[in-house]
Structures are given as structure tokens and as C-alpha cells.
């Protein structure tokens, strides 16, 4: 089964996600993983030239649950979820649930670009 990397970003972090992805485009593409996203994060990445395997609904409309289900199925190896720590979110419980699933299933989780870069470089070596 082909592994996937999930990319998710709060609205205030979408530009940061696109910037990270563009900076690391060659590395990300060389890994050979399919990319899955939630709604508008995927739209922004597609506009920047990324091929998205699957776009789920927006996180607030169940996309976080969709990503979580794929983690439970063993289909996601890494979750890049750029969080906005300075804003409250109506779906905070969903976000906490995704973080919990990553810990339960030993899935690498990056909530900011610095950690995401380390994970990408680590995947290249592993």
C-alpha cells in the first residue's frame, strides 16, 4: 500500500504551508508519497503546481476526521498540520483528536515549518 503525506493548515497558516512546500518541492516529490490535503489547503497547493492525490473536505466540515480515518487505516505516514496558536478554532476537539491519533499510531506530526523540514529530510534518509 502506498503511503501518503497529509498537509493541512489553518487559514492564517496556508501561505506558510505553501511557502514550506515550494521551498521543499523537490524533496517532497522525490519521496514518492501521495499527497492528501483538506479543502482549501489542497486548492492552494494545486495552484502552486503540486499534484494532490485526494482533497478531503475542509477541516471544520469533517476533513480532520477524514484524515484521522486514513491514519487509523495506516494510509498516512506523516501529518503536516500548520496550526495557528494565536486563534481559537471551533473544531479544536477535532485538532486534538488528530494529534492524539498521531501519537497512538506513531505518526510523525509537524505543526510548524521547522519541524516539517526536519521530517522531510529524515524521510529522505530513512
> Which strands make up the sheet holding 54-56, listed edge to edge?
54-56, 34-38, 4-9, 76-82, 108-110
Residue 64 falls in the annotated catalytic set: yes
Among 43, 64, 66, 94, the one annotated catalytic: 64
Q: Is 81 exposed, middle or buried (0-12, 13-18, 19+ CB in 10 A)?
A: buried
Q: Would you name the residues annotated as active-site residues?
A: 64
Amino acid at each position: 500500500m502506498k503511503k501518503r503525506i497529509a498537509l493541512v493548515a489553518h487559514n492564517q497558516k496556508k501561505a506558510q504551508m505553501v511557502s514550506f512546500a515550494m521551498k521543499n518541492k523537490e524533496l517532497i516529490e522525490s519521496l514518492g508519497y501521495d499527497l492528501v490535503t483538506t479543502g482549501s489547503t489542497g486548492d492552494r497547493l494545486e495552484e502552486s503546481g503540486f499534484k494532490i492525490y485526494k482533497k478531503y473536505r475542509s477541516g471544520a466540515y469533517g476533513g480532520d476526521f477524514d484524515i484521522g480515518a486514513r491514519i487509523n487505516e495506516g494510509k498516512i505516514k506523516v501529518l503536516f498540520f500548520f496550526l495557528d496558536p494565536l486563534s481559537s478554532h471551533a473544531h479544536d476537539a477535532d485538532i486534538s483528536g488528530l494529534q492524539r491519533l498521531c501519537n497512538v499510531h506513531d505518526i510523525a506530526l509537524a505543526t510548524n515549518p521547522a519541524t516539517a523540514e526536519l521530517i522531510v529530510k529524515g524521510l529522505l534518509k530513512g
